[in-house]
Amino acid sequence: MADKDEIKNIEEEMLKKAREGEEEQLQEEELNDVKLKREKLALKREETEDNKSKEENGKQGARGLEALSKATVEKSARFVVLFAFILFILDITFQYKGFNIVVTDGGSLFSGILEFILSLFYPILIGVMFYWLIAKKKGWASIISFIALMIFGLFIISILVPNFHPLILIHILYILFFWLAFIKGRDDEARANWILIGLLFADLYLFSAINNFSSGLAESFMGFPFLFFLTIAYVYKETGNLWAAISIVLVLGYYIIVATPTADYFQGIDVVKEKIPLREWPGLFIERVIKEPSEKFGGGTSSWFSSQIQYAITGKVEKNKDEPLGVYLENVQPADKKYYSDENVVVWGTVNARTLDDPIKIKLGCYVKKDGEKIKSNEVDPEDKVTVYKLEEQDFVCTFTENPVSEGVLKEGINTVTAFADFNFETLAYLKTYFINRERKRAMEREEIDIFKEFGIKDKKPISVYTNGPAALGMETTTPLIGVTKEYNGAFPRLSISLKRNKGWKGNIKELKEMVIIAPKGVKLEKCAGDYQAYDKAKCVDNCNKFNIYEDDDAGEENACESSCASFFEDIGEDENLYSIDLNKSSDREFDEDEDDDFKFFTCSFNPEISEVLEENSPITTKFFRAKARYDYIVEDDVTVKIEKSLPDLDK
């Protein structure tokens, strides 16, 4: 506007001068001057318009970029959610644990890690040079985080290459993708690097770290999808992606309802599907929602503590390639959704059994608990004990007949019926122990020589390995490396054995029938806490008959015991020494069925004979202690049966 006024003023001035007759007097320079001014103004106007349009374009461009990156983020979010969900399914299927590392010697682990880091001096130097050249921000914080990331990355590669597992690689790729899509561009470089290290460590090593501290705790968390929740929660927070929210809800629901053994107490709560009389609500609420889970949770926690503190004999289950050994109840359910009070109540199920050795005799049945007493069902099919050889599946049916409601066995409303399988089973365990001349051991220790490292022995703390089944048979000696000498002067090394219910198994050990210790060549038991005696085939048969291990065998009890004992002694070496622990005292053999963590503990001192236990040509000798426990076990499964008041007879 100001420019237009200026032009107007100039023109008016010219007209005025012309009217006054002074136009002729206007110098050519003044005319040119005016023309120049006009041209300048026009140019200025053009420039202003140019700038305005450029600004407009710039704004559009920025909006365009923003729109483009938002679209990319959205796509990335969808991809991450899908990737994470697939990963979750794979983790559940393959029981992902990251690098399942067992530390046998903490000291060498730390020195090994230190040596590894020191060996990376040159690669790190080159990496830092690269980083310095190409990084936008060159602060010390980002360089240090980059070095840490490089070391950690190389550490992962050094473990992954010899222990390649595709699922681990997929996890790493997922974490890298998530980091690139959501973390790298949004946080400062150093922080982004540390977040990547944290994610990789948690996903690949956290299980191993916890497992080496407490295997019980690690098992509780095994299968929990930390990575899934962390990353998808972040995606949801950043993008509000609906699929992220849905997948979190689905997975959380899955985990709570189905996923891990430690969620068992939820399975103990049967969801009441149908209408329940109002008067039963408070009782049911207290019983089912408060009392039962609290007892199971409290029991589980205290058993974890007690297993860590009260006795420390650990062991691990020998893996089976196919189905695990033992007896399992499956698909236990009432035959009908509901019954009336004048009807027979029928519960059925399937029992699965697998053994590699002696046949299992299983007594099936059902009971209800009333006033602390177990009232069994009137009929069971099959009525007699079922004998399972190797691998079998057997259906069974329990029937409560004779007006169970009017007899007071069952009641109208919700009833808990327990199906059980009572069977004999046998668990074997072995414990590796090293023997060395005591003088040599002392000499090497005095010279600060690591004996295990010197002899290339990686398994420095062997633990008892027991066969699959309902019982855990733990064994341990005073030390894994026993110094052998001619004279112990009373301070003999000791062997301890424990028997308790195996983790993850329902039911209880009813009674220990037989505990046999098999000592290696040259090792004799010196003294036990209780009585014990030598064990041979005759003793085996005698015990078998005495405790009715094989009852009502069609082939004849004696034959079953003979063949079982013959089969057992086929596995025994000529020079091994066998002993059986005296179980005459009921406290030594009977388990308290009300206490989930009841266990039996035996300890004996032993005397290794130097000329027999040490192999002549070997500086260190490896031998195995073995044990066999025969016991009766009862496995149970609860089911809810609903009984309604019977309808009146219309005919009457």
Partner 1 sequence: MPLNKKIILIFAVIALLLIAGCKGRTGTKGSITGVDIRSGVKGIAMDFVKGSPPKNVFEDDVFPIAIRLENKGAFNIEEGKGILVFGFEKQYVEATKEGDGEKQKFKIEGKSVFNPDGDTEFITIDAKVKKIGSQSESRASTILATACYRYETLLGTSACIDTDIYGAEVRKKACTIKDLSFGNGQGAPVAITKIETRMLPQEDDNRIKPQFLIHVENKGNGEVIRPGKYENACTSGALEYEDLNRMNIKALLSGEELDCSLGLDEEPENIIRLRDKKDIVRCTLEEGIEKSEGAYTAQLKVELDYGYSFTISKDITIEKVLKY
**Which residues form the interface with partner 1 (CB under 8 A)?**
126, 129-130, 133-134, 318-321, 325, 355-357, 390-391, 426-428, 430, 432, 436-440, 442-444, 446-449, 454-459, 467-468, 520-521, 567-568, 570-571, 573, 576, 614-624, 626
Residue with smaller CB distance to partner 1, 115 or 459: 459
Assign 3-class secondary structure to 320-359: CCCCCCEEEEEEEEECCCEEECCCCEEEEEEEEEECCCCC
- Kindly tell me which of 80 and 613 has the beta carbon lying closer to partner 1: 613
Of 282 and 456, CB closest to partner 1: 456
Counting Cα atoms < 13 Å in the Cβ hemisphere of 458 gives 3
* Residue whose CB is less far from partner 1, 437 or 607: 437
Phi first, then psi: give them for residue 336, nearest 5 degrees: -130, 155
Please, are residues 259 and 274 in contact by the beta-carbon 8 Å criterion?
A: no
Q: Provide, rounded to whole angstroms, the least separation between the CB of residue 455 and partner 1.
A: 5
Separation CA 397–CA 380 (nearest Å): 6
Q: How far is the CB of 322 from partner 1 (least distance, A)?
A: 8
What's the CA gap between 67 and 65, in Å, rounded?
5
Cβ at position 170, least distance to partner 1 in Å: 26
Contact 262, 303 (CB under 8 A): no
Scan for tokens 């004849």, then name that residue: 556
For the chain, how long is the longest CA-to-CA vector? 152
Distance CA 626, CA 464 (A): 9
Q: How many residues are listed for the chain in this entry?
A: 652
* Rounded distance between C-alpha atoms, residue 414 and residue 283, angstroms: 11
Q: Between 60 and 320, whose beta carbon lies closer to partner 1?
A: 320
Paired sense of beta strands 471-477 and 494-501, if any: antiparallel
Per DSSP bridges, beta strands 315-317 and 464-466 are parallel
DSSP bridge pairs for 425: 631
Task: Give just the sign of the alpha carbon dihedral 561, 636, 368, 384.
Answer: negative
Closest separation in Å from C-beta 438 to partner 1: 8
Closer of 205 and 579 to partner 1 (Cβ): 579
Distance between CA atoms of residues 277 and 414, nearest Å: 10
Residue 443 Cβ, how far from partner 1 at the closest point, in Å? 4
Task: Identify whether the C-beta of residue 405 lies closer than 8 Å to the C-beta of residue 342.
Answer: yes
Shortest spacing between CB 517 and partner 1, in angstroms: 15
d(CA 283, CA 413): 12
Q: What tokens were used for 58?
A: 């710039």
DSSP string, 86-107: HHHHHHHHHT--SS----S-HH
Smallest distance from the beta carbon of 75 to partner 1, in angstroms? 27
* Region at 403 (left for phi over 0; alpha for psi -120 to 50; beta for the rest): left
The distance of closest approach from Cβ of residue 125 to partner 1 in the complex, given in angstroms and rounded to an integer, is: 10
Rounded to the nearest whole angstrom, what is the least distance from the CB of residue 259 to partner 1 in the complex?
28
Q: How far apart are CA 480 and CA 625, in angstroms?
A: 11
Q: Least distance from C-beta 279 to partner 1, angstroms?
A: 53
| Nearer of residues 55 and 571 to partner 1, judged by Cβ | 571
Query: Which CB, 193 or 427, lies closer to partner 1?
Result: 427
Tokens of 43: 């140019």
Q: Kindly state the smallest distance separating residue 331's Cβ from partner 1, in Å.
A: 24
**Distance from C-alpha of 281 to C-alpha of 277, rounded to nearest angstrom:** 7
Task: Specify whether the CB–CB gap between 313 and 476 falls below 8 A.
Answer: yes
CB of 320 to partner 1, least distance (A): 6
- Looking at the Cβ atoms of 290 and 443, the one nearer to partner 1 is 443
| DSSP state letter for 263 | G
d(CA 74, CA 235): 10
Residue 392's SS3 state is strand
Q: How far is the CB of 495 from partner 1 (least distance, A)?
A: 16
Specify the residue, 67 or 566, whose C-beta has the smaller distance to partner 1: 566
- Measured from the CB atom, the residue of 212 and 622 that comes closer to partner 1 is 622
Nearer to partner 1, 409 or 473 (CB): 473
Closest CB to partner 1 among residues 310, 618: 618
Q: Report phi then psi at 262, rounded to 5.
A: -70, -5
Tell me, what DSSP letter sits at residue 590?
B
| Closer CB to partner 1, 231 or 477, in the complex | 477
Using the minimum distance from each CB to partner 1, give the nearer residue, 261 or 324. Answer: 324
The minimum distance between CB 319 and partner 1, in angstroms, equals 8
| Cβ 564 to partner 1 shortest distance, Å | 10
Nearer to partner 1, 384 or 445 (CB): 445
Among 301, 297, 296, CA closest to 216: 301
Q: 464-484 burial string, b = 16+ CB within 10 Å, else e?
A: bbbbbbbbbbbbbbeebbbbb
Alpha-carbon distance of 236 to 256, in angstroms, equals 21
Query: CB of residue 10 vs partner 1: minimum separation in angstroms?
Result: 50
Cis amide prior to 166 (ω within 30 degrees): no
Q: Is 261 exposed, middle or buried (0-12, 13-18, 19+ CB in 10 A)?
A: middle
